[in-house]
């Protein structure tokens, strides 16, 4: 399980899933996805998310967000994440701004 904190977000190790590119699983066209499917080949398959750093396809896994207060109290929350197997950048759908 990947564990990340606010400092990982600030360092760019954790990014918003909305910032990732999407590729058609059939024709591999990048960022040609519309609400009707792939604009290039008309596929309706679910697009693959690609890492913005190295263009590898993500792997879905559970991650844990860990918030540490100045008092030392720690709060953790498990979240479903997408992790790049090549450069280990994590992309999250749910975003913490605390």
Lookup: tokens for 19: 């910032």
Lookup: tokens for 41: 């080949």
**Could you tell me if 22 and 29 are in contact, meaning their C-beta atoms sit under 8 angstroms apart?**
no
pLDDT band at 39 (very low <50, low <70, confident <90, very high): very high
pTM: 0.64
Characterize the bridge pairing of strands 90-92 and 74-83. antiparallel
Is the pLDDT at 26 greater than 90, yes or no? yes
Lookup: tokens for 87: 């450069």
Is the pLDDT at 13 greater than 70, yes or no? yes
pLDDT band at 98 (very low <50, low <70, confident <90, very high): very low
**Could you tell me if 17 and 91 are in contact, meaning their C-beta atoms sit under 8 angstroms apart?**
yes
Percent of the chain with pLDDT over 70: 92
pLDDT at residue 69 in the model? 86
Query: How many other CB atoms are found less than 10 A from the CB of residue 66?
Result: 14
């Amino acid at each position: 399980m990947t564990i990340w904190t606010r400092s990982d977000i600030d360092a760019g190790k954790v990014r918003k899933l909305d910032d990732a590119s999407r590729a058609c699983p059939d024709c591999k066209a990048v960022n040609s996805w519309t609400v009707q499917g792939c604009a290039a080949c008309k596929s309706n398959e679910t697009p693959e998310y690609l890492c913005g750093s190295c263009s590898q396809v993500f792997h879905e896994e559970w991650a844990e967000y860990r918030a540490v207060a100045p008092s030392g109290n720690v709060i953790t929350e498990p979240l479903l994440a997408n992790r790049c197997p090549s450069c280990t950048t994590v992309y999250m759908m749910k975003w913490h701004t605390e």
